[in-house]
Amino acid sequence: MKTPSQLKKADDLFEKSSMSFGDHLEALRKALVWAFVSLGIGMLIGMPLADQVVNYIQTPLRVALKRYENDRSKKEIEIKTGQEVSKEFFGWMQANGRYWQQVEVDVADLRAALGMPSDSPDGIGTTNLPPNEAVAAKVAETPPVASEGTEDTKDTVNINQLSVDRLRKIALFLPIDTKTDALGMQEGFMIWLKAGFALGFIISSPGIFYAMWTFVAAGLYPHERRYVYFFLPVSVGLFVGGACLAFFFIFQFVIDFLLKFNDSMGINASPRLTDYMSFAIFLPLGFGIAFQLPLVMLVLERLGIMSVKTYISQWRAAILIIAFLSMILTPAEVTSMIGMCVPLIGLYFLGIGMCHWLPRKGSPHEGYDPK
């Protein structure tokens, strides 16, 4: 390593480069301008579609919540009734998105709402009642009675006349609520901006990666710049592949795991819009960026900072570092950590293979011809 006294001129840092320090700064400026212009165009395309993106991103959550409520209801029915739920009935619950809830109602009020005579048998229960939709429709048809002295309609049920002896348990199968909650008026707008930014980044990713690789290519010799035509599509492909893996596969397992974990602790899940959407938007982006590992390894090897021998000898330490980064870059649960860690380990060995099968030839300035 050279001492400060040996570096008499700043340009000495670039004595083996095809560009001066000023040329590097100019190339960086052009690359940043190109990247921001690409991102701006992507956001102009993505913003009008942001509301559709927000709705689509909630699909895994809706699926997980329905499955969670169906399974929870099935277990609760079997525990409280001592009977096993048939596959046909459970399939009906799943197909119609229903969950089970047991409530107590006053027999007299229920008979009146259903239009049944007051002297009907007292054995009114779930087997004697029409479907829940019919009950709800019948109750909805009952006209409200206006209280004297006011124009407002009020419930005329006299609570003091209710008798505990007249209460009967009935089972209701209610629609599962899969909507997220917004605790602030500005949350919807902020989520819309984040969704538009994320979609714009994905749309503009080819332009952004092109700007990055043109900056790298600016410091290379002419015969080395042909690397860009090989690295650019691979880089975009790895990014899109990582984002798709996170959203279409890993994400569903993460939600299922978190819902089941909360249920095991007796905690009801009530997803908040901001937390869920931030998690759903940026987790795929994190996967896409992390999947650039093989190219980073290849660049470091080409610059002489690392070697294939070092990569192979330090594979245990590399796996430890990958596991630590996966823990930091993913939520605090094991599913997404494993979902990122395992592919990155495979990509690490892919990077070793790329460094081996695309070796240097001759001098350090002789690049591999991908043609």
The β-bridge partners of 157 are: none
Q: Provide the 10 A C-beta neighbour count for residue 218.
A: 18
Cα–Cα dist 349/346, whole Å: 5
Mean pLDDT over 264-270 rounds to 75
Taking 90 as the threshold, does the pLDDT of residue 349 lie above it?
yes
Q: Which two tokens stand for residue 370?
A: 């991908």
Mean pLDDT over 87-105 rounds to 84
Taking 80 as the threshold, does the pLDDT of residue 335 lie above it?
no
Instruction: Give me the half-sphere count of Cα atoms (radius 13 Å) on the Cβ side of residue 194.
Output: 20
What percent of the chain stands above pLDDT 90?
5
Taking 80 as the threshold, does the pLDDT of residue 311 lie above it?
yes
For 182-234, the pLDDT digits (tens) are 777 788 888 888 888 888 888 888 888 888 877 777 666 666 666 677 777 88
* Helix, strand, or coil (residue 16): coil
pLDDT confidence bin for 119, thresholds 50/70/90: low
Mean pLDDT over 233-242 rounds to 86
pTM of the full structure: 0.61
pLDDT at 13: 34
pLDDT confidence bin for 346, thresholds 50/70/90: very high
pLDDT at 159: 54
Q: Which two tokens stand for residue 113?
A: 């709402």
Strands (E), 69-215: 98-106, 167-175
Cα–Cα dist 306/52, whole Å: 45
Mean pLDDT over 98-109 rounds to 77
Taking 90 as the threshold, does the pLDDT of residue 266 lie above it?
no
H or E stretch covering 133: helix 132-141
Mean pLDDT over 112-123 rounds to 61
Q: Provide the 10 A C-beta neighbour count for residue 345.
A: 17
CB neighbour class for 168 (10 Å; exposed up to 12, middle 13-18, buried from 19): middle
Q: Provide the 10 A C-beta neighbour count for residue 328.
A: 9
Q: Which two tokens stand for residue 269?
A: 């899940």
Please enumerate, as own/partner, the contacts of 339-342 that have beta carbons within 8 Å and a separation of 24 or more: 339/245, 339/246, 339/249, 339/250, 339/253, 339/254, 340/246, 340/250, 340/286, 340/287, 340/290
Taking 80 as the threshold, does the pLDDT of residue 116 lie above it?
no
For 132-169, the pLDDT digits (tens) are 444 444 444 444 444 444 444 445 555 555 566 667 77
Out of 4-13, 70-79, 178-187, 345-354, give the one with best mean pLDDT. 345-354
Taking 60 as the threshold, does the pLDDT of residue 242 lie above it?
yes
For the packed helices 315-329 and 273-290, what is the interaxial angle rounded to 10 degrees?
160
For 26-61, the pLDDT digits (tens) are 878 888 888 899 988 988 998 888 888 888 888 888
CA 240, distance to chain mean position in Å, is 15
Cα dihedral 115/119/125/130 (nearest 10):
-30
pLDDT at 207: 85
- Which range among 78-87, 159-168, 240-249 shows the weakest confidence by mean pLDDT? 159-168
H or E stretch covering 215: helix 187-218
pLDDT at 345: 92
For the packed helices 293-302 and 227-245, what is the interaxial angle rounded to 10 degrees?
150
Residue holding tokens 């600016």? 218
Question: Pick the residue with more confidence: 360 or 81?
Answer: 81
For the packed helices 59-81 and 87-96, what is the interaxial angle rounded to 10 degrees?
140
> Residues near 99 by Cβ (< 8 Å), separated by ≥ 6?
69, 70, 72, 73, 93, 173, 174, 176
